[in-house]
Structure 1
Amino acid sequence: MRLLRCGHDAVLVEVDSLVEVDAVRASLLAASGRDELGDLVELVPAARTVLAAFRPGTGEHGRQAVREILDAADLAHPVRTSPREITLPVVYDGPDLALVADTAGLSTKDTVAAHTGAVYTVAFSGFAPGFGYLTGLPEPLRQPRLDSPRTSVPAGAVGVAGEFTGVYPRPSPGGWRLIGRLADDAEPLFDPSREPAALLAPGDAVRFEAAG
């Protein structure tokens, strides 16, 4: 683990795995709730880092508090929390569903059952506003991206790539294997008029439910 200064009032924590990212995020969030990090204003997890930003003027005090909390934390076992639970209805008719099933050695029905049977965790957000990288994908569905990315993926498309699954919140290029799409009555993943604008946040528990 490395702690790097980011400007005057933030620190970037570098770790080696998503498990450690989750442990760092959960440990700092729990400490903030106990007022051990009372000046913390934002936590931004990524694939191998967590940025902790503090109120202006916090400076070295915030960085030292982060170091003390993480030195005492067990990064191999994240702090247990009670996450928000979100269910996303999905129509499983994606253009790559048969490819994913064939690669996994499953029928399309069993592929859908595998995807809907897991509970996922939002590890971090990125790529596009509202896009959450979800971990917990069953091993047979962990597959490479397409050899040739699509120039346009429709909003609401549900895909898999590597160890992640996720939903495209808006039209964009993309190389994930698409297995379905959000149902028409699903809540938007990103709505600037909503507070918060993003439906999914790091630490949330997500389930997919077959619709239609």
Structure 2
Amino acid sequence: MTAPAVHRAGDRAWIVDCPPGTVRQVADGAAADGWDAWVSDVVPAACTVLVVARPGARMAALRRHLRALAARPPRGRGTPVPGPRTVEVPVRYDGPDLSTVAERLGTTPELVARRHAAAEHHVGFFGFAPGFAYLDGLPEALRLPRLSTPRPRVAAGVVAIAGNQTVVYPGGTPGGWHRIGTTTAVLWDVDATPPNRLALGDRVRFVEVPA
């Protein structure tokens, strides 16, 4: 088996190419068991993890540590994973694209809402904007590709779907996802501690509220 690749990123960071199913174990282990003295930040993505080292860290040793984490067998479904929670997000299924989504899927807006709220979503990774969580778990029956041309600006609290994922827009960013609802929940607050309400691996349950 080929050892996972670990690439240098600038003078104080490594990017780990994670085999399928290992992103979280690499992200969790990167700064665990004393390695936090050498690691200042860990940024998981869809299939990579960026690990930023503190000044003076032994970069070669850190690389060996990260490579060993990525080489471990993926944690199975029955393996306890530290830290996951279930976070409930209230949502009004009143998005401007809801009717179009239902029409394209050959169903009704009510059924789209019901299927979305019943699904088990979880935080796959973060990216694009601070606190912007990509939530995996969208049912096959609700999957559509992103728009070919993104909108220049999407308001805060918009709940949108594309591919196998759901996102909640932080506001002020472009976006090419299908807007099916809105929420008053604030998932990123720079003045909060921590600012991000969600963490990698958290389960997210969308709870329908009257529109």
Q: Which TM-score applies when normalising by structure 1? A: 0.85
Which among 170, 194, 197 is matched to residue 195 of structure 2? 197
1:119-153 Cα distance to aligned partner (Å, 9 max, x none)? 21111112222211110111111111224422332
1:1-53 Cα distance to aligned partner (Å, 9 max, x none)? 3111223432111246xx43xx2332441464444665333221112211122
- Change in 2 beyond 3 A, CA 1:67/1:151: closer
**Which runs of 5 or more residues in structure 1 are unaligned?**
none
Matched, 1:26 2:29: no
One-letter code aligned to 2:6: L
Q: In the alignment, is the contact (CA less than 8 A) between 1:119 and 1:207 conserved in 2?
A: yes
Which among 6, 9, 17 is matched to residue 9 of structure 2? 6
Instruction: Tell me the equivalent position of 1:168.
Output: 169
Aligned counterparts of 2:95 and 2:133: Cα–Cα separation in 1: 19
One-letter code aligned to 2:100: L
Instruction: Tell me the equivalent position of 1:45.
Output: 44
- Change in 2 beyond 3 A, CA 1:156/1:139: same
Instruction: Tell me the equivalent position of 1:61.
Output: 61
Q: In the alignment, is the contact (CA less than 8 A) between 1:8 and 1:57 conserved in 2?
A: no
Instruction: Tell me the equivalent position of 2:209.
Output: 211
Q: CA deviation at 1:160?
A: 0.5
Aligned counterparts of 2:34 and 2:76: Cα–Cα separation in 1: 22
Give the 3-state SS of the residue equivalent to 2:194 in structure 1: coil
- Change in 2 beyond 3 A, CA 1:172/1:6: closer
Q: In the alignment, is the contact (CA less than 8 A) between 2:189 and 2:196 conserved in 1?
A: yes
Q: CA deviation at 1:211?
A: 0.9
Q: In the alignment, is the contact (CA less than 8 A) between 1:9 and 1:57 conserved in 2?
A: no
Matched, 1:106 2:104: no
Aligned counterparts of 1:9 and 1:116: Cα–Cα separation in 2: 42
Q: In the alignment, is the contact (CA less than 8 A) between 2:124 and 2:135 conserved in 1?
A: yes
Q: CA deviation at 1:57?
A: 1.8
Q: In the alignment, is the contact (CA less than 8 A) between 1:9 and 1:60 conserved in 2?
A: no
Q: CA deviation at 1:173?
A: 2.3
Aligned length: 204
Q: In the alignment, is the contact (CA less than 8 A) between 1:97 and 1:179 conserved in 2?
A: yes
**Which runs of 5 or more residues in structure 2 are unaligned?**
none
Q: Which TM-score applies when normalising by structure 2? A: 0.85
Matched, 1:133 2:134: yes
Give the 3-state SS of the residue equivalent to 1:110 in structure 2: helix
Aligned counterparts of 1:198 and 1:86: Cα–Cα separation in 2: 12
Instruction: Tell me the equivalent position of 2:91.
Output: 90
Aligned counterparts of 2:48 and 2:149: Cα–Cα separation in 1: 29
Q: CA deviation at 1:105?
A: 2.7
Q: Percent identity?
A: 40
